[in-house]
Structures are given as C-alpha cells and as structure tokens.
Amino acid sequence: MSQRHPKSYSVRLHEGQENSTALNVYEWQGSGPPLLLVHAAGFHARVWDKIIGQLGDRHVYAVDLRCHGLSENSASPYSFQLFGDDLVALIETLDLNDITACGHSMGGHVVLQAATKLPSRFKHILLLDPVIFSPDSRDPAQTDPAKSPIASRRNEWASADEMFSRFNSRPPFSDWDHQVLRDYCEYGLLPKSDSELFELACPPLCEAAIYQSSGNGLLLEYLSSITATVKILRVKERTPEDAPFDFRPSATYKGLVGLIPGATENYLPDHTHFIPMEDPYLVAEEIKSLDT
C-alpha cells in the first residue's frame, strides 16, 4: 500500500455572503485527472486514507465539509443544498475539471448536486449508498435537534486511543477495517479549549441538525442534466425489524439508477451503509475501474 502524505489548506468560499465558510482540503499530489472524495455526515476527509493508499500516485482531493474535520463551523440551519453549494464553489475556486468523484452517504447527495450544476466538469461518479430518498418522501420534520438521540453522542474523549478502544468492539464500528476506524478517531477529534480533553470535530448537536435537513429538495428534478458516467453501490435494504436510528441499512432510493442517464448499479446485500469503512479495498477497486 502506498504511503503518501497530503498537504492541507483552507479555501474561503462565498466571500461576503451569508453562507460564507472556509473548507479544509487535503490534496495528495500525483498524476492523472483529479479524484474528488466527499465524506458522509459526521465523518471527515481522512476516513479515505486507506482507500487512497490503494490508488498509487493518483492526484486526489478530499474535503472536510463545513462543520466537519478542520473546516469552519457555521450556525444552523443546514441543508444538503448548502453543502452542495459549498462543493460547487470549491470546484470552481480550485478550477477542477475532468473530475472523477466518489461520495459516500450525504457526500453522494452533495456530489450529485454539484454534478447537476457543473455537468461539464465531471467525467465519472461513484456513489456509495448515497442518501437519496424516494420522490414521494417528505422532507424531515423540523424539530429541536437537541432532542435527537444523535445529539446525545459522547462528545469528550481523553484521546483518540480511548475512542478507538471504546468503539472497536461495538457495532457498527466492530465491522470496520481497523485502520479506517483508527483514522476516524485520530482525525475526528480536536483539542478542547482550556482543557486536556478532546471533542468531536463535528459536534453532536450539529450532526443532529444536519440529519434533520436531509431532504432531496429539488435534486431529483435535475438529475437528467448529469453527463458523467455514474455507478451506484447500494447496500442491504431496510426492513421493518431495523431500528429507526440503525444506520446500517441502505439510505438510497431503489429507483435512483433510472433517474440518471446511463447510470449503473451494483446491489451489495452483504454490505451495510458503511461500505467504505468495512471494505476499503472494494471501494478502491471500484474507483480504479472507472478509468478503464
């Protein structure tokens, strides 16, 4: 596995506007057209490290979305459309073209938004169980995010090692690749001010508010404008027995593949929504196959 190290830098977007923010970008310099990786809600750009390690000297960009990783936090309200606008602005600012993009969960939704607004800049798209709901789904009810179980997640940790030890034997983390889980813990904590403790880079209250903003908006109406080749990896479907806050079943509308021109789909019933954490080798091979 290639051991490359990225450079990290901040990119200011929407300067002077109400939605202004600064996103942290990791760039692994290399050859070929840019590969753009976009993480799920509550995660960060460095969960892709093991996958990137399988890609040789590929030129890679991985972004921390707002309120994640080292990117700037902003006050709610949030929306998937807001994150999509950020990605559009980032692509334009960095002047990326001929993009191969891979998005997981919310990141897949965000990539699709960008591809509908900047179709000529995208060549290939890989969607890892993207959060796309059926056309008849209603947007989530706007309630107090502080009352969500997500908001009650443990936020303070003595170290990344403590976090890893806590999660390593507990589902769904127990099914993850160990190195990916270590990266999730290592880069998902920030020093807490005036304390020796660490806290989650994506605050639980922020993550809860993001889930409340997870509607499709107008996205489905614009999917026909996408010109890139699109492949969807969809995982095991939700059943009535699955608990409401069990995030392992698929979050992807089964009819999505038919709404994107020329899109293809692989159904993977033996995998969960956390497919890039469970099987980084599979995801790396899928990325490499897009250019063949």
- Please give the full DSSP string across 90-115, using - where no structure is assigned: HHHHHT--SEEEEEETHHHHHHHHHH
- Give the whole-angstrom CA distance, residue 19 versus residue 30: 32
- Give the whole-angstrom CA distance, residue 254 versus residue 151: 29
Q: Residue 280 has which token pair?
A: 């980084």
For residue 231, which of 130, 127, 132, 99 has the smallest C-alpha distance?
A: 127
Q: Kindly report the pTM of this predicted structure.
A: 0.96
What kind of architecture, by CATH, is found in domain 7-134+214-289?
3-Layer(aba) Sandwich (3.40)
pLDDT at 134 over 70: yes
Tens of pLDDT, residue by residue over 110-132, are 999 999 999 999 999 999 999 99
- Give the whole-angstrom CA distance, residue 257 versus residue 263: 6
CB distance 88 to 192 below 8 Å: no
pLDDT at 283 over 60: yes
Q: Residue 76 has which token pair?
A: 């709610």
Tens of pLDDT, residue by residue over 21-78, are 999 999 999 999 999 999 999 999 999 999 999 999 999 999 999 999 999 998 878 8
Query: What value does the mean pLDDT of the chain take?
Result: 94
pLDDT computed for residue 141 by the predictor: 61
Give whole-number Cα distances, 72 to 49, 193, 198, 209, in Å. Answer: 21, 16, 17, 16
Average pLDDT over residues 238-259: 89
pLDDT computed for residue 82 by the predictor: 94
Q: Residue 272 has which token pair?
A: 């969960």
What is the pLDDT confidence band of residue 148, given thresholds at 50, 70 and 90? confident
pLDDT at 1 over 70: no
Q: 241 or 108, which is more confident?
A: 108
pLDDT computed for residue 242 by the predictor: 80
Phi/psi-derived region of residue 32, left when phi > 0, alpha when psi is between -120 and 50, beta in every other case = left
What is the pLDDT confidence band of residue 179, given thresholds at 50, 70 and 90? very high
Domain boundaries, the chain: 7-134+214-289
